[in-house]
Amino acid sequence: MRSEGLSLGLVLLCLLRVQAKPLGTAEPDASKVAGTWYITAMASDSKTYLEKKDQLKMAMANIEVLGDGDLNVSFAIPTPERCMKFSSIYKPTGNPDEYHSSDRGNKTVQLVNTDSSSYMVVFATREKNGKKLKMLRLYSRAQQVRPKIISLFKRFAKQYGFTDETIWILPTQEECQLGEP
Ligand SMILES: *[C@@H]1O[C@H](CO)[C@@H](O)[C@H](O)[C@H]1NC(C)=O
Ligand SMILES: *[C@@H]1O[C@H](CO)[C@@H](O)[C@H](O)[C@H]1NC(C)=O
């Protein structure tokens, strides 16, 4: 009887721990992710991206944390054809630091690593023709990124299965920017 009571207590303790973690981390730390970012490096397994990779340049993103914990992410992405501007709403999935958007296809983003100030590494997936495409992005507060952070990004990209040929650093550009937030 006594040992049963004890193990029930342990089970409850474990349940409490399991519950406490997602609750704590699902609440986004606004100062950590909010505001304007430059997308300074990328890794992708998308054929379309890889074919165009020499023409791609640095993109911008602005992240607003909404009252309910959703993220409103506005992008300015220079493509060879035009400056693409759009925003998407991402909702927390319940997994730590992971968000989902169905605005433009089925997409997820997950915060992989950050120093809470100058950079963050974000893993993104997108569904295209029933296939899941994977992308790792380096978000930086400044257009110039320290070599140490680039190396760190490359290490994460390798962990996610990307090879050197599918990792690239994006050159700066002035033509396609977000307005002042
Ligand atoms: C998201 O941000 C865009 C650009 O600032 C804005 O136009 C849009 O109204 C915002 N959406 C929500 C739900 O806040
Ligand atoms: C989006 O992806 C999730 C998880 O892979 C899946 O359960 C869901 O059915 C997908 N939704 C659409 C609209 O494709």
Measured from the CB, is residue 151 less than 6 Å from ligand 2?
no
Q: How far is the CA of 52 from the centre of ligand 2 (A)?
A: 27
Whether 23 has a pLDDT exceeding 70, the answer reads: no
Q: Is 177 a member of any domain?
A: no
Helix, coil or strand: residue 54: helix
Measured from the CB, is residue 106 less than 6 Å from ligand 2?
yes
Distance CA 33, CA 117 (A): 8
pLDDT (tens digit, 9 = 90+) per residue, 79-102?
Answer: 888 999 999 999 999 999 999 999
Question: Alpha helix (H) ranges present in 34-127?
Answer: 47-52
Which token pair is 104? 């433009």
Q: Is 176 a member of any domain?
A: no
What residues make up the domain containing 31? 21-169
- CATH code for position 144: 2.40.128.20
Measured from the CB, is residue 46 less than 6 Å from ligand 1?
no
pLDDT (tens digit, 9 = 90+) per residue, 32-89?
Answer: 899 999 999 999 999 988 998 889 999 999 999 999 999 999 999 998 889 999 999 9
Which token pair is 117? 């100030």
63, burial (CB in 10 Å: exposed 0-12, middle 13-18, buried 19+): buried
Q: Please say whether the beta carbons of 126 and 102 come within 8 A.
A: no
Which token pair is 120? 């963050």
Query: What pLDDT does 16 receive?
Result: 40
